[in-house]
Each structure stands twice: as structure tokens, then as C-alpha cells.
Amino acid sequence: MAFLYATAKGQKQLLFAFAVLAMLIGCGRSAIDKALQSDARGYFCPACKLKFYTEYSVIADVCPRCKSYDIQEVVGFVCNHDDHTTLAPRAQRVVPCEKCNRMTAGLRLPNESDLKAWGAIRKTKADVSPK
């Protein structure tokens, strides 16, 4: 009952709290969308240690070098301390940051420039399809 008779000051505080919450939700959604955007897909082959990538619309089935089907998709592990992204196979749960050696906490999809810097080479659909 007392809530129904809130003062004008209380109503303003409540409105302000909702506005802040809406901004936080909006910012969070933007960060999620950014983390899921990419122009390439990265892969690692444990059998021959090849790092390679394809354009985002191409999903690799085999390693272009040894033709192994046991390839792993690569993701970016983001360090909350220094915002550095360390690339590694998705199968790993967490990895230490390459820059500060602390454990990473966030994930994002790497883009083509990240994958090139990691040492991956670009492959075509024909290269990563079974023959």
C-alpha cells in the first residue's frame, strides 16, 4: 500500500533506475552482437597443426593439408584485464591471455585480420571439402 503512495522523489528514483537498466541491457546486447560478428571462420587441425580459415559462409569439413576430419573451430578468448584476445580451438574451456597470462573470461568470434595475425592461411571451399 505504501508503494502506491510513493513520493515524487521516489518515483523519479524508480524512473532513473529503469532508465539505467534499459541502457545496460542495450549496451549488453550491442556487445553480444559485436562478439558474434565475423567475416571468417578459423580452424586448427590437431593432426598436422595447420591453422587455416575460410570466408564466413564456408564451413570446413576436412583439413586442407592432411585431409583429417578431426578439425577444431577457433574462437577468441577475451581477457577482462587487458581486453586482449587469444585465439585457440573452441574445445578448450579457458586459456591464459597471451599478453598478461591471466585466465581469459569472455568469448568472441575472430575476424580475418585476427586469424591472419595468428598465422592462419586462407583456404577455399574446394580446399576444405572432402574429395
pLDDT at 91: 81
More confidently predicted of 10 and 96: 96
Express each pLDDT in 26-64 by its tens digit: 555 566 666 678 899 999 999 999 999 999 999 999 999
Cα–Cα distance, 78 to 82 (Å, whole number)? 9
Domain boundaries, the chain: 8-34, 39-122
C-alpha cell of residue 35? 562478439
Q: Name the average pLDDT for the chain.
A: 82
Q: Is the pTM of this model over 0.85?
A: no
How confident is the model over 5-20, as a mean pLDDT?
44
Whether residue 100 is predicted with pLDDT greater than 90 in this model: the reply is yes
Task: Kindly indicate the confidence band of residue 24, based on its pLDDT and cuts at 50, 70 and 90.
Answer: very low
Helix (H, G, I), strand (E, B) or coil at 34: helix
Half-sphere exposure of 44 (CA within 13 A, CB side): 16
Task: Kindly indicate the confidence band of residue 124, based on its pLDDT and cuts at 50, 70 and 90.
Answer: very high
